[in-house]
Structure 1
């Protein structure tokens, strides 16, 4: 069950539930729920990645992993952990784990990099007509990306 900590009734209900779980010596899990970004934001990211892929001749997945995550946003996506046999290993964080502010920052970094380093303009989310034109270009090149 989800509770809103800013709602006094929810806070009381959550405390009562927690105290009962502790009293009954149950196993439980407490997790913070970060604001999720919208489906529209996810769609926008995939259009940006696919369009850039069309422009440079790479797949959307390749662009997402290598340019969006590794090149433009290493501090957000590259993580390290200890592996029992390999020692320290690096892995990529999933973009689904980002909250809306992290997401916006990573997309802005990618857009800026595309423009300044690759000469490819990626429109902002409010440039609806340009996004429609990107979607047309992606559709025309769908078999290649």
Structure 2
């Protein structure tokens, strides 16, 4: 169950639930739930990935997987699991699974890589004029992304 402990009503419900489980001597798992990435982060990420694709000639999917996930942020995205046959496989998790903090780190790493390695400046989220400019360029080149 999920409880928002900022809400006094839910605090009481949480205490009741936990006390019930305690009386049952149940095995429980408690973990803090972190917020997923924000919608503004998602929109910004899509914009800078598209701009990188425009500037390099790669597709948006190639940029997202090969550069954003594998090259810049492998530690955040690469996961291992055991498949149905018992073999360990490696996969890349979805960016929608990242917290806002993880997404901030991932974006910053990608911006740094883009500038240092590819020579492509990616604007910060507050550079409104540049962001508008790249939106226009992306729309003009949409068929190539």
TM-score range, shorter chain: 0.7 to 0.9
Q: Structure 2 length normalisation: TM-score?
A: 0.85
Taking structure 1 as reference, are residues 87 and 2 closer, same or farther at Cα in structure 2, changes over 3 Å only? closer
The 5-angstrom pairing of residues 65-104 of structure 1 reads 65-85=65-85, 87-104=87-104
Q: CA shift at 1:38, angstroms?
A: 2.2
| Gap regions ≥5 residues in structure 1 | 24-28
Q: CA shift at 1:132, angstroms?
A: 0.7
Deviations 1:69-102 (A, max 9, x none): 0000000001111223361210001111111111
The 5-angstrom pairing of residues 5-84 of structure 1 reads 5-17=5-17, 32-84=32-84
- SS in structure 2 opposite 1:10? helix
Counterparts of 1:144 and 1:55, CA distance in 2: 11
Counterparts of 2:55 and 2:86, CA distance in 1: 38
- SS in structure 2 opposite 1:81? strand
- 2:142 matched residue in structure 1: 142
Runs of 4+ in 1 over 4 A off after TM superposition: 17-23, 29-32
Deviates more, 1:69-78 or 1:84-93: 84-93
Deviations 1:4-43 (A, max 9, x none): 22444322112324566899xxxxx977532133211100
- SS in structure 2 opposite 1:53? helix
Deviations 1:51-85 (A, max 9, x none): 10011111111100110000000000011112233
- 1:126 matched residue in structure 2: 126
Q: CA RMSD in A?
A: 2.5
Counterparts of 1:10 and 1:86, CA distance in 2: 41
